[in-house]
């Protein structure tokens, strides 16, 4: 008994020592690189070209209203006029009457090609929002150092930056060893089945395996997550799947003067509340690569928590839950997006329907979601009907130990001032998921330093990109094409 207290003190000291040791050794060692600039800057030229591309109204409304063929044709002729060297040097194919596949033939056929993916389509601008834009969304206005318009961030900027980098490389006399494909889908915003899926079909049909695919996705962001002020780059190595499930309830109609305690609408409202209060399970380990990458600059408490997830897992989950982006990063999300019910003010509603959209993290599937809903709402009166048209699993997870990933990471650090680079599960859907059929190194990255605030322009109002940042994207793609060209096969 006299030894108990000293023993407990020793245990406590050891316990604290382990936590502190893990905290202070947490985080990746960052290699530093000399800055790299491939081309003499020419921001006005690339801005001018993006402006013309934005003026082509290649709007994809929904599955039944894809981009008008005439608008795509217009865009093709704008590209032809603005990227003459590229059109002279690369072979151009029109796939499924809308998508474009440029082939820049490499000298060494033994090297597997790389592919830069993009999409020509943009989302519509809500008519009511039109007056809220500082500059009309399809004028392609260049003002105050910015290029304004729909597609300036998603993702005509990246399409034009890749094309411009190829144009400049050709102008400078560069000839690739490794074949480079530029693949521009035309229906990414409405699912990619007409565009990217057909491009991949063509690649498969021609027995083409790709060494790496680069598509839109992660960016370089400051202030995205609470407590992390230093900018960091994220590369999407997988993307979430999607399931839309309709909750349907039918009840006998009747006069509203003698109602039951809960009408169909009330019962549905309770089910919705339960679903919102009981999200799918969280897996904070998903964020470890990001936390390790920025580890050294994390605030102490956050660093300690992630370094000791075995102890602070609950705290981390609760903290991330307060931030929508943080919460979406670690679990399958639940969003109730539509509700319908009732027919008249004095009739008991014969039905109530709610639509819930789930973004599925890798490792979970539709069956898990249905089970979760049943367990949570505990109400057999409510039927669960998945929408078969809006249903796909999370993508495979790309390799972060591969040479193409290392080269991508190094190029990001060289062009963007040695910013920490981390892999992430991309929360939204992109065309990238189709490319796993022909490639295992599919990376989602937009070389753009952007604030959390400016990101609101994506699918929102006043979408814009700074001309300086656009030029930097061109520099990045020039550097990456050359770096991939010097890379040995195979990863």
Binding stretches for Zn ion (CB under 5 A): 154-155, 216
User: Which residue, 154 or 239, is less far from Zn ion as judged by CB?
Assistant: 154
Write the DSSP symbol of residue 2: T
Q: Cβ of residue 215: shortest distance to Zn ion, in angstroms? A: 9
User: Which residue, 164 or 431, is less far from Zn ion as judged by CB?
Assistant: 431
**Tokens encoding 35:** 């800055």
Q: Cβ of residue 219: shortest distance to Zn ion, in angstroms? A: 12
Instruction: Report the candidate in 481, 490, 436, 445 with the shortest Cα–Cα distance to residue 200.
Output: 436
User: Which residue, 216 or 239, is less far from Zn ion as judged by CB?
Assistant: 216
* Greatest Cα-to-Cα distance within the chain, rounded to the nearest angstrom: 89
Question: In whole angstroms, what is the distance from residue 216 CA to residue 437 CA?
Answer: 18
74 carries an active-site annotation:
no
For 154-173, letters b (16+ CB in 10 Å) and e give bbbbbbbbbbbbbbbbbeee
Annotated active-site residue in 112, 121, 167, 364: 121
User: Which residue, 178 or 240, is less far from Zn ion as judged by CB?
Assistant: 240
Q: Cβ of residue 191: shortest distance to Zn ion, in angstroms? A: 12
115 DSSP β-pair partners: 181, 213
Write the DSSP symbol of residue 61: -
**Tokens encoding 307:** 């370094």
Asked if 245 and 355 touch (Cβ cutoff 8 Å), the reply is yes
| Torsion on CA atoms 362, 366, 369, 370, rounded to nearest 10 | -170
For 3-37, letters b (16+ CB in 10 Å) and e give eeeeeeeeeeeeeeeebeebbeebbeebeeeeebe
Please identify which residue in the block is written with the tokens 């979406």.
328
How, if at all, do strands 421-426 and 232-239 pair? parallel
Question: In whole angstroms, what is the distance from residue 425 CA to residue 232 CA?
Answer: 15
121 carries an active-site annotation:
yes
User: Which residue, 155 or 228, is less far from Zn ion as judged by CB?
Assistant: 155
Instruction: Report the candidate in 32, 78, 138 with the shortest Cα–Cα distance to residue 419.
Output: 32
Sorted by sequence, the CB contacts under 8 Å of residue 147 that are 6+ apart come out as 47, 50, 51, 54, 140, 141, 464, 465, 466, 467, 470
Q: Coil, strand, or helix at residue 168? A: helix
User: Which residue, 216 or 463, is less far from Zn ion as judged by CB?
Assistant: 216
User: Which residue, 208 or 428, is less far from Zn ion as judged by CB?
Assistant: 428
User: Which residue, 195 or 341, is less far from Zn ion as judged by CB?
Assistant: 195
Annotated active-site residue in 188, 283, 471, 485: 188
Q: Cβ of residue 70: shortest distance to Zn ion, in angstroms? A: 22
Q: Coil, strand, or helix at residue 327? A: helix
Which residues are known catalytic residues? 121, 188
């Amino acid at each position: 008994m006299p030894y108990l207290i000293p023993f407990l003190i020793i245990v406590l000291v050891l316990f604290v020592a382990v936590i502190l040791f893990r905290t202070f050794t947490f985080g990746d060692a960052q290699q530093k690189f000399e800055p790299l600039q491939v081309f003499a800057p020419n921001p006005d030229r690339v801005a001018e070209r993006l402006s013309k591309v934005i003026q082509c109204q290649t709007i994809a409304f929904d599955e039944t209203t894809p981009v008008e063929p005439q608008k795509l044709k217009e865009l093709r002729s704008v590209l032809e006029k603005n990227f003459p060297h590229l059109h002279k040097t690369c072979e151009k194919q029109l796939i499924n009457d809308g998508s474009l596949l440029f082939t820049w033939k490499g000298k060494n056929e033994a090297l597997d090609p790389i592919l830069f993916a993009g999409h020509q389509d943009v989302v519509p601008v809500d008519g009511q929002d039109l007056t809220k834009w500082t500059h009309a969304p399809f004028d392609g206005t260049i003002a105050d150092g910015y290029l304004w318009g729909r597609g300036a961030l998603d993702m005509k900027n990246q399409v034009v930056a890749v094309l411009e980098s190829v144009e400049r490389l050709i102008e400078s006399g560069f000839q690739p060893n490794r074949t480079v494909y530029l693949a521009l889908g035309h229906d990414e915003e409405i699912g990619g089945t007409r565009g990217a899926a057909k491009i991949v079909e063509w690649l498969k049909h021609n027995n083409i395996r790709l060494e790496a695919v680069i598509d839109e996705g992660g960016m370089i962001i400051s202030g995205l997550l609470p407590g992390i002020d230093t900018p960091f780059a994220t590369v999407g190595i997988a993307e979430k799947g999607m399931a839309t499930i309709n909750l349907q309830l039918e009840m006998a109609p009747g006069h509203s003067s003698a109602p039951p305690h809960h009408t169909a609408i009330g019962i549905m409202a309770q089910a919705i509340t339960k679903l919102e209060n009981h999200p799918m399970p969280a897996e904070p380990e998903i964020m470890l690569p990001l936390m390790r990458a920025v580890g050294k600059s994390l605030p102490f408490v956050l660093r300690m928590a992630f370094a000791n997830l075995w102890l602070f897992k609950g705290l981390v989950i609760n903290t991330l839950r307060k931030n929508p982006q943080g919460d979406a990063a670690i679990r399958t999300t639940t969003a109730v997006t539509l509700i319908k019910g009732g027919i008249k003010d004095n009739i008991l509603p014969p039905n109530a329907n709610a639509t819930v959209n789930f973004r599925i993290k890798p490792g979970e599937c539709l069956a898990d979601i249905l089970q979760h809903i049943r367990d949570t709402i505990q109400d057999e009166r409510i039927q669960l009907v998945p929408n078969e048209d809006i249903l796909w699993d999370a993508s495979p997870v790309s390799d972060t130990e591969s040479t193409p990933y290392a080269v991508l990471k190094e190029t990001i650090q060289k062009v963007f001032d040695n910013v920490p680079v981390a892999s992430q599960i991309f929360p939204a859907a992109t065309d990238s998921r189709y490319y796993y059929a022909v490639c295992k190194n599919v990376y989602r990255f937009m070389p753009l330093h952007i604030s959390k605030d400016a990101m609101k322009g994506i699918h929102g109002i006043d979408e814009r990109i700074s001309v300086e940042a656009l030029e930097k994207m061109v520099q990045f793609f020039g550097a990456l094409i050359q770096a991939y060209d010097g890379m040995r096969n195979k990863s």
